[in-house]
Amino acid sequence: MSSIPPNAAAHDPNLSPRALGVIAVCLVLAALGLWIAMTPSRTGTALIGGPFALQTGDGKTITDADLKGKPFLVYFGYTHCPDVCPTTLAQISDVLKRLPEKPIRVLFVTVDPERDTSALMADYVGSFDPRIIGLSGSPQDVAAMEKAYRVYARKAPTKDGDYSMDHSSIVYLMDAKGGFVEAFNLDRPPEESAKELSSYL
């Protein structure tokens, strides 16, 4: 004499495997998407990088087309960063110091366009190697470049009512066609990094 509960359909044992199947398919697609993004394609470039247009301190616009013809490095960060960004830019400068004649360009792109104007970015990179170019732009243009480079960046409110930026910290080595080569390793003596970098130049 059992009564059928009104929500019996939700407990139909036939639905569970189907739901599980849907979840499994989603997981497989997500994993596949990640794999495709990180795997070099047949042309040798992973799906990192792409078109962008941002401004330098003197008001010039730099686009991906301007960088073609020579490999370049890209790093995303912000001028209020307490440690990671200044440390990384100092490491990059240490590497560049060992390549005095090389015309390699390094882009330091803000993830905090609200506070980092292109003038502020230019001023900030003035403390580092002159081949490092500070770039900013409208929040939309910055977001577009972050998306192209698969950058993670989020505002993190601080106790004093201000905010910092949580952000991924990868130095992208891009080839002469603007294709992704690798996450450039700075976690070694600068001579070694310089040697590897010069092999691409």
Q: Taking the complex as a whole, how short is the minimal distance between the CB of residue 165 and Cu ion, in angstroms? A: 7
Does 121 contact Cu ion by CB under 5 A? no
Judged by CB under 5 A, the stretch of 29-37, 44-52, 83-91, 99-107 that binds Cu ion is 83-91
- Using the minimum distance from each CB to Cu ion, give the nearer residue, 41 or 168: 168
- Using the minimum distance from each CB to Cu ion, give the nearer residue, 75 or 99: 75
Judged by CB under 5 A, the stretch of 17-25, 33-41, 74-82, 153-161 that binds Cu ion is 74-82
First to last CA, the chain: 82
Q: Taking the complex as a whole, how short is the minimal distance between the CB of residue 51 and Cu ion, in angstroms? A: 24
Q: Compute the distance between CA of residue 120 and CA of residue 112 in angstroms, rounded to an integer.
A: 11
Ordered DSSP codes for the chain = -PPPPTTGGGG-TTHHHHHHHHHHHHHHHHHHHHHHHHS--TTS-BS-----EEE-TTS-EEEHHHHTTS-EEEEEE-TT-SSHHHHHHHHHHHHHHT-TT---EEEEEES-TTT--HHHHHHHHTTS-TTEEEEB--HHHHHHHHHHTT--EEEEE-TTS-EEEEE---EEEE-TTS-EEEE---SS-HHHHHHHHHHT-
Does 134 contact Cu ion by CB under 5 A? no
- Using the minimum distance from each CB to Cu ion, give the nearer residue, 67 or 165: 165
Q: Are 53 and 62 in contact (CB under 8 A)?
A: yes
Binding-site member from 62, 67, 74, 81 for Cu ion (CB under 5 A): 81
Does 95 contact Cu ion by CB under 5 A? no
Does 85 contact Cu ion by CB under 5 A? yes
Q: Taking the complex as a whole, how short is the minimal distance between the CB of residue 77 and Cu ion, in angstroms? A: 4
Place of tokens 């209020």: 80
Q: Taking the complex as a whole, how short is the minimal distance between the CB of residue 76 and Cu ion, in angstroms? A: 8
Does 84 contact Cu ion by CB under 5 A? yes
Q: Taking the complex as a whole, how short is the minimal distance between the CB of residue 167 and Cu ion, in angstroms? A: 6
Q: Taking the complex as a whole, how short is the minimal distance between the CB of residue 84 and Cu ion, in angstroms? A: 4
Name the residues that contact Cu ion, by CB under 5 A: 77, 81, 84-85
